[in-house]
Amino acid sequence: MKDLILKELRQAEGYISGERLSELCGVSRTAIWKHIKTLQQEGYQIESQHGAGYRLVGMADVLNARELADHLQGSCFAPSAKIHCYQEVTSTNTVAKELAQKAADRQAKQGIVVTAENQTAGKGRLGRPWTSAQGTGICCSVVLAPMMTLAEASRFSFIAATAIAEGVRRYTGLDVQIKWPNDLVLNGRKICGILVEMVAEAEHVDYFVLGFGLNVNQTSADFPQEIAQKATSLAIQSGVKIDRMALLCQILLSIEEHLALYQSQGFAPIRQKWLASACFLGEKVVIRQQERIIDEGTVQGIDEDGALLLERPDGQTVRILAGDVSLRQADGRYC
Ligand code: BTN
């Protein structure tokens, strides 16, 4: 109902009366008044004037399903019933998975979007927790159901990272890079974490839940001390506040576009794009798993499955399938 009232307020030129809103929305004037109060509490600037009605003078910086759907016309995310914007959830990935389980078929699953202003149990890669300051970033999960065999599934997170990086680059013009396997970094600091979860049948992928946490309008003070040196936000790097709604639309469209590219031309063009955005190519790194160093060498690239190709000091090239990459600094330490 709130979304419908908001739509009418946006379409109205100037004031719209409570009576007209109640006719258009099919609820009482008292109900309209209550929803307007809630919208104001959420940050929408709505003026009310006796005898004239209500007028929207400023949008809230809140992700909103109807507006996202309006901006995503023609894409697989467009039906607003597929977009769910919450104030708070445990984890958008968990909620997206629940929605996908209830969806009737592949087509109904494809394009489900869940966003939250706050997560109480955000999940990171390798079982780590994920926290982000309320309402400043983008916490989003998308259900995607491409036709893929289990053997191809490892490529999905590279398609996702390439697409999200390109979406952010298109909107901000900032030189976003990808750190294997799929962290996005800007000037050496992390701006986005990606968590891909998969539900599969015997040989085929049923669907993926692609979750990403993007640092958008955080200030330095918003980051906990333990990650303050490693993380940054788009606003810190660009010096301007970013429209999260417009940025998210650009990212979602880029995801759809890159999946279509994969389906029409295979992994080769994705791999090329991933390599063009990759940091650490030709650099000396260590590979950590659970903070333990398990390998070291020079980064050569990625192969057809997305495995990291690492040339060890003895000249042997090995494939790394899981872990975190850290760069060797001039003083011999790793960061
Ligand atoms: C990582 O870098 O470890 C991955 C972090 C992924 C975080 C996002 S936020 C939206 C989605 N919901 C979650 O619980 N996790 C992902």
Per-residue pLDDT tens for 103-131? 999 999 999 999 999 999 999 998 899 98
Confidence category of residue 332, pLDDT binned at 50, 70, 90: low
Q: Which atom of ligand 1 has the smallest separation from the CA of 123?
A: 14
The rounded distance, in Å, linking the Cα atoms of 23 and 14 is 18
Q: Which atom of ligand 1 has the smallest separation from the CA of 116?
A: 10
Q: How big is the CA angle at 264 (ends 143 and 98), to the nearest 5 degrees?
A: 10
Summarize pLDDT for 263-303 with one digit per residue, the tens: 999 999 999 999 999 999 999 999 998 888 999 999 999 99
Confidence category of residue 14, pLDDT binned at 50, 70, 90: confident
Model confidence at 55: pLDDT above 80: yes
Top mutation candidate among 120, 123, 289 for ligand 1, by most atoms within 8 Å of CB = 123
Tokens of 42: 């959420």
Distance 41 CA to ligand 1 centre (A): 28
DSSP three-state, residue 134 = coil
Tokens of 103: 């969806």
Report the greatest alpha carbon distance in the chain. Answer: 82
Task: Report pTM.
Answer: 0.88
Pocket-forming residues, ligand 1, beta carbon under 6 Å: 91-93, 119, 122-125, 128, 130, 139-141, 183, 193-195, 211-213
Q: Which atom of ligand 1 has the smallest separation from the CA of 192?
A: 2
Model confidence at 22: pLDDT above 70: yes
